[in-house]
Structure 1
Amino acid sequence: MPKVSVCVPIYNVEKYIEKCVRSLFEQTLDDIEYIFVNDCTPDKSMDILRRVLVEYPQRQEQVKVIDHKVNKGSATVRNTCLSAATGEYIGWCDSDDWVETDMYEAMYDKAKAENADIVCCNYVAEYSYKRVFETYPYLEETKEILQTLPPIVLNSAVWNKLIHRNLYTINSIQAYEDINMNEDLGVTLRLRYLSRKTVIIPKAFYHYNRLNDASMTVSSNLRYEEDRIQCARLLEDWFASQPDRDSYKGMINTIKFAAKAGLFYHPALKNLDRWKNTFPETNKYIWQNRAISFYDRAAMWLSLHHGGYIAYFMYKVAKPVFRVFKHHLQKLTQFPYK
C-alpha cells in the first residue's frame, strides 16, 4: 500500500498540465501513487502528460491512467479516482494547479505524527497581477469551528487536504453524482464531521490557478447554480440523520443561503422570485451571513423589503461601475510577476 494516492482529474488543461505534473512527479515523497482520470478531454492534455512522464522513469510504475469513454463531469471523475486509489491517504490536485515539491511528504508526516484523519494546508491563489495567500485562522479543527465558521473560511476544496482513505471507505463517502459545482463541499464537509482529528499545516503548499478561463470556478450558468442548491439539500438531509444535527443547523443555513446566491448575483441568471422562494427560511439570516459582502447583503435585504428598484440600481448600475473602478485600481497598484 503506498503512503499517498494523488488523484488528478484531467479536462481541457493543455496550457497548464505540464507545470502541474512536473510538480507532482518531483515530489520528495517516494512512496506515492498517481491516478490521472481523463474525462474525455478534447485537447492535447493527455499527450502532454505522456510526454512529460517519459522524463520521470522512476515514477512510471506509480502512475495509473483511466480514460472515460464519454465526458462524465467532475463528480464522477472524483468517484473514479476514489475507486482506483490504494494509498493510506488520498490527496487531490486539479490539473491546472501546481504544488510545492515537499507538499505530500510534509502532509503525510504531519498526519502520522498527529494521528490525524485529515491534514489541511494553506494555499496561494495565483492571478495574472497578484498572489493572494489564503490561510486558516486555526491549527486544529474542532466541532465548534466546523459549526460556526462559514465554508469560505473553512475552505471546502479537496485539493489542499490529505485525507485518510478509510474515512471515505468505512463511511461510504463519495461525491454526490451529477453535482459538478460544489462537489468538493459535498464531500469535505461530511468527512470533516466524521474526522477524529483534523489539523492544519500553516504553510502554503498549494497553488490555486485563477488564470484558467475554462475552469468551472470562474464561470457560471443555471446548471451550476442548480448544482449548488441540490448539494445544499443533500447536505441538509445527511446532517439531519446525525445524532447531534441541531448543533449544525446554523452551518447548514449558511450553506443554503450561499447556494442560492447566484440566482441573485448573476445578471444572466437573475430571478428574484426564485431566489426568495428557494430556502425561504434562510432569508431572515441575511445580516448574519458575513461571508457575503455588506453591499450584497444590503441589496438582498432591499429586495426582500419592497426595495426592488433600489436593489436593481445597485446591481445594474452602481456595482458594475464599482467593479470597473476596482479592476483598474488593482492594475495600477499591482506589478505583474513571473
Structure 2
Amino acid sequence: MEILLSVLVPIYGVEKYIERCATSLFEQTLQDHIEFIFVNDCTKDNSVVKLLNLLKKYPHRISQVKLLEHSRNRGLAASRQTALNHATGDYVLTVDSDDWLELDACEELLNSVRETKCDILMFDYIADYKRKHIYCKQNVASNGIDCLKLLLAGKMHGGTCTKLIKKSLYLENRINYIEGLNMFEDISVVYRLFFCAQSVGYRKRAFYHYYQGNQNSYCTRLSITSQENMLQTIDMMDCYFRENNVSYEVWKYFDCFKVRVFILLIVASELSEDYKRYGTLLRKNLKGMSMPLSLRDRWVCILIKYMPWRFTYLIIRFLNNLKKIKLQLYN
C-alpha cells in the first residue's frame, strides 16, 4: 500500500500523556495511506507499555505502526531523526507525545497538499493549559524565504509539529536533526527547510493541540545544556547563511532573531553571572539592529542598555516570577 503520510512520535518520560496522544492518532478519520512511527528513546517509565496496551484496542492500526528502539538514551533530536530515517511517506508530520491532534487532521491536511502540491503546509494550533485554551493563528507567506523572515522575526511558531512537510525536502537538501541539540532542535531544521522550499501552503484551522502543562519538557525549563543549545543554533544559522549568501534583508531578520534569543536567555537566567553574560551579548547585537521588537523585548532592551546591572537583574527576575505565577494559574 502506498504511504502518503508518516506521523513521527518520539517517546521519553510521557506515561501521563502517551495514551491521549496515541488515541488521537489511532482514531484519525484517515484509514489508509498512513503510518505511525514511534521511537522509544530508552524511556524509564511505562510509556511504551501503555502505548502497546492501547494499540490492542485498534487492531486495524497494528500493521501501520512501527515501534523503533534506541539502545541508549540519545535525546529528542536523535529520536526525531530516527523516525524520519524510517519514514516512507511522501509527507511527514511530527507529533510530540504529550500533544494530540484533531481527529480529522491527517485526512484534511493530506487533502490540502493533494490540491496545492506545496513543499510545506502550515496550520494553526491551540496552546492547551489545564484551565485555559488559546487559539494561535499562524502568520504565513506563500514562499519559503518570506516564511524564513517571519520565523526569524518571531511571528511564526518554529516547531515542525505545526507543519506538514514533504519528505523529499529533507532528503534532497540533506537537512537532518543534529544529535545532542535538544533545545531549538526544530528551529535548527525549519529555517533550512524554509530556505529550500519553493512553495508554502496554509490551512486556517487549528489541527494541533500543544500541551503547556508538561513540566519535564525542554520548553518549560532552560537547563544549562538547553541554553548552550540555543547559542549553538545561532552559530549554526550564522554559518549556514554565510555559506548560502543570503540577502541583506534576511541578515537583518537574523539580527532580530539573535536579540530575541538573548532576551529569552536573560529572562530565564537564574544566576546573575549568566544574566551578565547574555546581557553583554545582547548589547553587542543591539548595535545597528533595525527590526521591530515586541513591547516586552523593547523594555528589556531599554533596561539592559541604560540601567545598572543589579537593578535590571532584579526587575527581570520579578517579571519572570510573574510569568511563572501566570502559568500556575492557567494550569
Q: Normalising by structure 1, what TM-score?
A: 0.89
**Counterpart in 2 of 1:253?**
255
> CA–CA distance in 2 between the matches of 1:325 and 1:41?
30
* CA-CA distance at 1:202 after TM superposition: 0.4
Q: Distance in 1 between matches of 2:10 and 2:210?
A: 15
1:101 Cα deviation (Å)?
1.2
Shift in Å, 1:257: 2.0
Cα distance in structure 1, aligned partners of 2:138 and 2:80:
25
**Corresponding residue for residue 75 of structure 2:** 73
* 1:273 paired to 2:276: yes
Distance 1:243 1:287 in 2: 20
Q: Any gaps of 5 or more consecutive residues in structure 1?
A: none
Task: Provide the rounded CA distance (Å) in 2 between the counterparts of 1:125 and 1:173.
Answer: 28
The reply on whether 1:282 has 2:276 as its aligned counterpart is: no
Alpha-carbon displacement from aligned partner over 1:8-27 (angstroms, at most 9, x marks no partner): 00011111110110110111
Task: Give, as a single letter, the amino acid of the residue that structure 1 aligns with 2:205.
Answer: K
* Unpaired stretches in structure 2, ≥5 consecutive residues: none
Identity score, percent: 31
Within the alignment, does 1:100 sit opposite 2:109 as a pair?
no
Does the alignment pair 1:215 with 2:217?
yes
Q: Equivalent residues in 2 for 1:23-42 (5 A)?
A: 23-29=24-30, 30-42=32-44
Give 1:8-87 correspondences, 5 Å limit: 8-29=9-30, 30-87=32-89
Deviation at 1:275, TM superposition (A): 1.2
Are the aligned partners of 1:100 and 1:205 in contact in 2 as well (CA < 8 Å)? yes
Task: Sort the Cα spacing of 1:138 and 1:227 in 2 relative to 1 into closer, same or farther, 3 A.
Answer: closer
Q: Go from structure 1 to structure 2 and tell me whether the alpha carbon gap of 1:36 and 1:145 turns closer, same or farther (over 3 Å shift).
A: closer
Structure 2 CA distance for partners of 1:56 and 1:221, relative to 1, 3 Å: same
- Counterpart Cα distance in 2 of 1:327 and 1:92: 25
Which residue in 2 is equivalent to 1:5? 6
Alignment of 1:1-338 (within 5 A): 1-29=2-30, 30-138=32-140, 140-141=142-143, 143-148=145-150, 150=152, 152-270=154-272, 271-278=274-281, 281-284=284-287, 288-291=291-294, 293-294=295-296, 296-317=297-318, 319=319, 322-323=322-323
**Partner deviation per Cα, 1:109-141 (whole Å, 9 max, x = no partner):** 111201101111100000011100000244635
Local SS of the residue matching 2:96: coil
Per-residue deviation, 1:282:
1.6
Do the aligned partners of residues 168 and 316 (structure 1) sit closer, same or farther apart at CA in structure 2, a change above 3 Å counting?
closer
| Partner-residue secondary structure (3-state), 1:301 | helix
Number of equivalences: 328
Q: 2:91·2:167 contact (CA, 8 Å) conserved in 1? A: yes
Describe the SS at the equivalent of 2:57: coil
Q: Please give the alpha-carbon distance, in whole angstroms, between the structure 1 residues aligned to 2:327 and 2:171.
A: 45
Q: Secondary structure at the match of 2:208?
A: strand
RMSD: 2.4
Q: 1: distance between equivalents of 2:239 and 2:263? A: 20
